Structure 1
């Protein structure tokens, strides 16, 4: 090979691209690794809480239910007999268990009580708020059972639209009713605001008006109980004080 050929080969020699230097390895200090881990954990926790907040916001708000027990004592044979007749007529007319009939029972009972307001001598009021369906229902039934257990015998009951009559052993000594105690049990949606104690006839009227203003759609249950149920039976002052110890005398 001639010198010129060697020169040509040298002139046309391929020259490759220079290789890139290896990337610089970043070495994190222990503290940097720690804070990065903290940031990742906090970000994950924030995401979880954000999702929980959105889920909770879209869930329906649990309904609270107020359970009210209002008791009123009336004095006088004539008033007791008249009031008993009204309550028996109301119970006979009820045909079912629904908000419509709950409203009917409540309104008619309060109307009759208003007509006999001059005979009202004492009262008691208990209000409790429950946060779920089972708790208010169980509590409502418990109170109703407690009140019914005070009766010697039920001559007429109309609970859940079922009518039952029983034969009552009448008194033979010619005595008449001395007192009658009415118990109104109401379960209604929401938190109802009532005074802790009813001290006067005016406060009783206000409480009855508030109770009667409860919308039909909010009523979950209504029971009306009274003792004695038979016009020939007696509820003496001693028996009333024993069975209904929380009654407070009303001022004029």
Structure 2
């Protein structure tokens, strides 16, 4: 009996706790809509990568070429036109005065340095600018009175074709417009931007952010990702004596360099939403919009808001 006394007391206390606040016993709903085209972009990028071919000479085997050394008159030979020995058509050396040989070496070294510098400039500035991918995150906290935003997001998730770039552009544009139309409900915000050099790094970062946000839901009750759909009726009743909030998170991966302002006021939030909504569809690699609560009868308390979304800053 003594061994069972403590577990029994714990069970009774837990039951009383759940009875006093029934919202704690039920799952918090979350919505998710979007998709990605990382795999198709990666394959097209690899297929369009630069290739180099070795020039063939008549009679040579395919894929293999060489140039044999030959003799030619050297301007630096003995006796004003003596014979010189060249290793190929690109450069050579002759048996001549020491100063002439030094000039050839100096010229060759300068050529190598200039070529390397130009190569570094082209690879480092032009190519990397086009290869960079921006992973952007914008998070907005709203008053629970903004139920119309929940309806807008539910409608977008139910109707969007999330398997195409145009469909992802539609999701992004409609979400940003819904928030821009209801600025009075927005009370806090947060933004971040990560620049990644390769598609794989961008995909990894995007997935990390998505998993982090999805882990804050007890259940995803409305999902439309890459046209894979799921809907559940699980919900919990709102308590009229508790503060209610809504949190919407927008994740975007896009080709090129994109920036978002730090969110310190309503003006910054408006600018960030406009920049996200204006990203061309052909630059979008991935979009996800996540929001909680998804069901209009659910509630997000102030304690949950502060614990799960500590980076949000008041506007």
1:235 to 293, 300, 306: 300
Aligned partner of 1:69 in structure 2 is 137
Q: Is the 8 A contact 2:169 2:281 kept in 1?
A: yes
1:115 to 154, 164, 181: 181
Aligned partner of 2:246 in structure 1 is 180
Aligned partner of 2:214 in structure 1 is 148
Aligned partner of 2:16 in structure 1 is none
Q: Is the 8 A contact 1:176 1:232 kept in 2?
A: no
Task: Name stretches of at least 5 consecutive residues in structure 1 with no aligned partner.
Answer: 1-22, 24-31
The SS at the match of 1:113 is: helix
Q: Is the 8 A contact 1:123 1:247 kept in 2?
A: yes
* Structure 1 CA distance for aligned equivalents of residues 151 and 242 of structure 2: 15
- Specify the structure having the higher radius of gyration (Cα): 1
Higher mean alpha-carbon deviation, 40-49 vs 241-250, is at 40-49
Q: Is the 8 A contact 1:177 1:231 kept in 2?
A: no
Q: Is the 8 A contact 2:238 2:299 kept in 1?
A: no
Q: Is the 8 A contact 2:161 2:168 kept in 1?
A: no
Number of residues of Structure 1 aligned to a counterpart in Structure 2: 216
Q: Is the 8 A contact 2:236 2:299 kept in 1?
A: no
* Structure 1 CA distance for aligned equivalents of residues 207 and 257 of structure 2: 19
Q: How does 1:61-210 map to 2 (within 5 A)?
A: 61-62=127-128, 63-76=131-144, 78-79=145-146, 81-171=147-237, 178-195=244-261, 197-210=262-275
Q: Is the 8 A contact 2:139 2:190 kept in 1?
A: yes
Q: Is the 8 A contact 1:175 1:234 kept in 2?
A: no
The SS at the match of 1:154 is: strand
Distance 1:104 1:46, change over 3 A: same
RMSD, aligned CA: 2.8
Aligned partner of 2:287 in structure 1 is 222
Task: Name stretches of at least 5 consecutive residues in structure 2 with no aligned partner.
Answer: 1-78, 80-96
How far is 1:173 from its partner?
A: 6.1
TM-score normalised to the size of structure 2? Answer: 0.61
Q: How does 1:47-62 map to 2 (within 5 A)?
A: 47-49=111-113, 52=116, 57=122, 61-62=127-128
Higher mean alpha-carbon deviation, 147-156 vs 213-222, is at 213-222
